[in-house]
């Protein structure tokens, strides 16, 4: 069992991620967000546990449901609100609605696609570091869904990562559906961890609704990658507790499946309270503080200027930015 302080940190990250997602869903419904909005509801335990295993200097390619991991790795609710409201002050300078955000200087790669396009860039960063003698004990983490596991782009990158034995942790959130395609139509093996050996990856499995189990699996995988044991895969079994995006009501998910998978957040809260790691009052206070933090971030972002397509510089990174990219280490 992980130490109580780490469990409390994970709980807070999960609550904050849920609060961000709830607010984003409300903003979308109010018509304040252009484009789509994608939520990570039900995936906070796995995502947050992975995010807490990242260290400054690591490189991370989150997927669209990784609000928890992003927050654990240094993104703030203000960063989120600036991007979703298209503020000029945001990471993408108002150029992207919500998911394609990132910040090279913090090691969060700006997102290309949910379907496997981020694995090759992570491999490239790690290879460049190795060739430059700067790899140290840094790792690269790549988030993917069970649908994305079937793309050619991912396959090609995993082959290179395996052959080069790069310090990668592939975080597979098998959330039962790729849009409306059920997992039985995505793979014919018992689970996706069975694919790991074929790529030369070690594999861990975890119950994505059990935050302690997610911490255990992620800690083991990140530690192995850091000590040079080669690439690692962690496969979490969970259910997406939202539509693919807020435009999707997920009515294709049968009631039986919904009742089989719990919601990781109240489950973890109840466990922590039962074990005396958190009191009911602390839990209530954490929920209120996180809601207030998200609300303050929203008000701040609302007060800042929107991007101006007619006059703003269109490139998110100028040439001198790219030449001067500074990693945290």
Pair of tokens at residue 272: 């922590």
Residue selected from 99, 240, 262, 268 as contacting ligand TPP according to rule CB under 6 A: 240
Half-sphere exposure of 250 (CA within 13 A, CB side): 21
Does the protein bind ligand TPP through residue 179 (CB under 6 A)? yes
Task: Report, in Å, the least distance between residue 263 CB and ligand TPP.
Answer: 16
Burial letters 197-221, b for 16+ CB under 10 A, else e:
eebebbbbbbbbbbbbbbbbbbbbb
CA distances from 158 to 168, 173, 202, 217, 221 (A): 9, 16, 12, 20, 16
Residue selected from 48, 97, 140, 147 as contacting ligand TPP according to rule CB under 6 A: 147
- DSSP H helical ranges for the chain: 4-29, 44-53, 67-72, 77-84, 119-131, 152-164, 196-199, 211-226, 255-260, 264-274, 280-302, 319-323
Instruction: Report yes or no: 37 and 25 within 8 Å, Cβ to Cβ.
Output: yes
Instruction: Report yes or no: 72 and 34 within 8 Å, Cβ to Cβ.
Output: no
Pair of tokens at residue 147: 């649908």
Torsion of CA 95, 114, 26, 305, to 10 degrees: -10
- Give the separation between CA 36 and CA 249, rounded to whole angstroms: 13
Nearer to ligand TPP, 99 or 125 (CB): 99
Does the protein bind ligand TPP through residue 65 (CB under 6 A)? yes
Residue selected from 47, 67, 138, 175 as contacting ligand TPP according to rule CB under 6 A: 175
Task: Report, in Å, the least distance between residue 47 CB and ligand TPP.
Answer: 10
Beta bridge partners of 207: 237
Residue selected from 114, 129, 195, 226 as contacting ligand TPP according to rule CB under 6 A: 114
Nearer to ligand TPP, 12 or 101 (CB): 101
Stretch that binds ligand TPP, among 81-89, 142-150, 221-229, 295-303 (CB under 6 A): 142-150
Does the protein bind ligand TPP through residue 145 (CB under 6 A)? yes
CA 77, 249, 239, 65 torsion-angle sign = negative
Residue window 9-48: x/- pattern of binding to ligand TPP, with contact defined by CB under 6 A: ----------------------------------------
Does the protein bind ligand TPP through residue 177 (CB under 6 A)? yes
Task: Report, in Å, the least distance between residue 183 CB and ligand TPP.
Answer: 8
Nearer to ligand TPP, 25 or 127 (CB): 25
- Give the separation between CA 11 and CA 206, rounded to whole angstroms: 17
Nearer to ligand TPP, 106 or 240 (CB): 240
Does the protein bind ligand TPP through residue 113 (CB under 6 A)? yes
Stretch that binds ligand TPP, among 88-96, 112-120, 122-130, 296-304 (CB under 6 A): 112-120
Does the protein bind ligand TPP through residue 86 (CB under 6 A)? no
Footprint on this chain of ligand TPP (rule: CB under 6 A): 65, 113-115, 145-148, 175, 177-179, 240, 244
């Amino acid at each position: 069992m992980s130490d109580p302080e780490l469990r409390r940190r994970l709980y807070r990250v999960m609550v904050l991620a849920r609060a961000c997602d709830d607010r984003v869903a409300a903003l979308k419904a109010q018509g304040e967000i252009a484009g789509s909005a994608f939520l990570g509801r039900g995936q906070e335990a796995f995502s947050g546990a992975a995010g807490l295993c990242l260290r400054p200097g690591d490189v991370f390619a989150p997927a669209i449901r990784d609000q928890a991991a992003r927050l654990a790795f240094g993104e703030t609710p203000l960063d989120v609100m600036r991007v979703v409201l298209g503020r000029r002050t945001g990471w993408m300078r108002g150029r992207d609605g919500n998911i394609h955000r990132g910040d090279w200087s913090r090691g969060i790669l700006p997102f290309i696609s949910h379907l496997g396009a981020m694995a090759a860039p992570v491999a490239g960063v790690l290879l460049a570091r190795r060739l430059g003698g700067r790899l140290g004990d840094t790792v690269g983490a790549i988030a993917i869904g069970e649908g994305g596991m079937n793309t050619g782009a991912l396959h090609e990158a995993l082959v290179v990562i395996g052959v080069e034995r790069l310090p990668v942790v592939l975080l597979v959130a098998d959330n039962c559906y790729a849009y409306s395609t059920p997992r039985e139509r995505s793979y014919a093996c018992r689970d996706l961890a069975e694919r790991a050996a074929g790529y030369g990856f070690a594999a861990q499995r975890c119950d994505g609704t059990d935050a302690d189990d997610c911490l255990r699996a992620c800690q083991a995988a990140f530690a192995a990658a850091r000590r040079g044991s080669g690439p690692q895969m962690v496969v979490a079994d969970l259910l997406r507790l939202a539509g693919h995006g807020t435009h999707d009501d997920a009515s294709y998910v049968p009631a039986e499946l919904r009742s089989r998978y719990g919601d990781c957040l109240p489950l973890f809260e109840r466990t922590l309270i039962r074990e005396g790691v958190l009191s009911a009052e602390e839990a209530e206070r954490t929920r209120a503080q996180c809601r207030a933090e998200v609300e303050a971030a929203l008000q701040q972002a609302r007060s800042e200027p929107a991007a101006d397509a007619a006059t703003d510089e269109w490139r998110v990174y100028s040439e001198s930015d790219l030449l001067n990219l500074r990693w945290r280490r």
